[in-house]
Structure 1
C-alpha cells in the first residue's frame, strides 16, 4: 500500500480535504497537513491538541476500517472560535468508548478529553462513517 496521499489536497471554502490510503505512514502526513493549515488559519494555540486528536482518529481508521480498495478522507476547517476535524472511512462499525481501566483502545477517551465535542455520523454520500471533533481555540476550550 502506498504511503502517499491518493489525491491532491482540495481547499474547500476555508477548509482542507484530502484522501489517503490506509497506510500507517499517512497518519504523519495528515498531521503535517493539519499543522500547515493551523498555521495558515492562525490557530497555533490548539496545534498540540488538534494533532493528537487527528492522530487518534486517523490511526483508528487505518487499523480498524479494513475495507479493501477504500480510502480514508480527512477534512479540517476553521469554524468560529475553533477547528472542526473529521476522519471518514468505509467501515460501518462505529467506534466505542472503552472503560477507563481497559488494557487498550483508550484513544477515544483522549479525543473526548481534548475536544469540546466529538461524535460519529454516517458518511454523506457514501458507505461507512465519519468520526469528528470540534476543538475550541480559547484556553477554556475543553470545558
Structure 2
C-alpha cells in the first residue's frame, strides 16, 4: 500500500527564537496543496498565524512554478527568526523564474507578481544543483 502521507512533519529545529522545517515534495500536481498545508501547520505551531495567508500564497506559487518549469526533486524549507519567516523552494531545473507582463485575458504570468505583492522580499540564488527561490515575510509588515 502506498504511504498516504510521504512528507515528514516539521520541525527539524525548534528553539526559543529560531525554528526550521524542511520537506521534500513529490513531483505531483498535488504538491502545491501539500506545501500550503505544511506551511499553514508550521506557522500555526510557531505562533505566527498572522503570516499564514501570505506565506501559503507565496509557497503555492513557487511550488507550482517549480512543478511546471523546474525539475524534481523539489524541497520546501521554512525558517523562522523571531517574527520573520524566510521560505525557500529548491528544484533541480536550470531555468530561473522571470516575471512576465500579463494582460487581463492571460491565464499565466502573474505568479511572481503575486509573490512580490505578498512577500517583503524575494529572489533567486543558485543551489548545488538547480536554484532556490526564496522569500521573506515579516509580521510587522503594513498592509
Name the TM tier (shorter chain): 0.7 to 0.9
Aligned partner of residue 129 in structure 2, secondary structure: coil
Give the distance between the partners of 1:97 and 1:37, measured in 2 at CA: 28
Cα drift, residue 116 of structure 1: 0.4
Unaligned runs of 5+ in 2: 14-18
Q: Please name the residue that 2:16 is paired with.
A: none
- 2:96 is equivalent to residue 91 of structure 1: no
Residue number among 106, 113, 119 corresponding to 1:109 in the alignment:
113
Change over 3 Å in CA distance of 1:97–1:38 after alignment to 2: same
Q: Distance in 2 between matches of 1:100 and 1:113?
A: 15
Which of 51, 57, 61 is the matching residue for 1:56?
Answer: 61
RMSD: 2.1
Taking a change above 3 Å as real, the CA distance of residues 134 and 3 of structure 1, as seen in their structure-2 partners, is farther
**Structure 2 length normalisation: TM-score?**
0.84
TM superposition score normalised by structure 1: 0.84
Paired residues of 2:10 and 2:42 also in contact (CA < 8 A): no
Equivalent position of 2:82 in the other structure: 80
Q: Choose which of 134, 137, 140 in structure 1 pairs with 2:139.
A: 137
Give the Cα separation in 2 of the matches to 1:18 and 1:33. 9
Distance in 2 (alpha carbons) for counterparts of 1:4 and 1:89: 23
Compared CA separation, residues 78 and 128, structure 1 to 2 (3 A): same
Give the aligned partner of residue 8 of structure 2. Answer: 8
Question: Which structure 1 residue ranges, 5 or more long, are not aligned?
Answer: none
What SS does the aligned partner of 1:16 have? strand
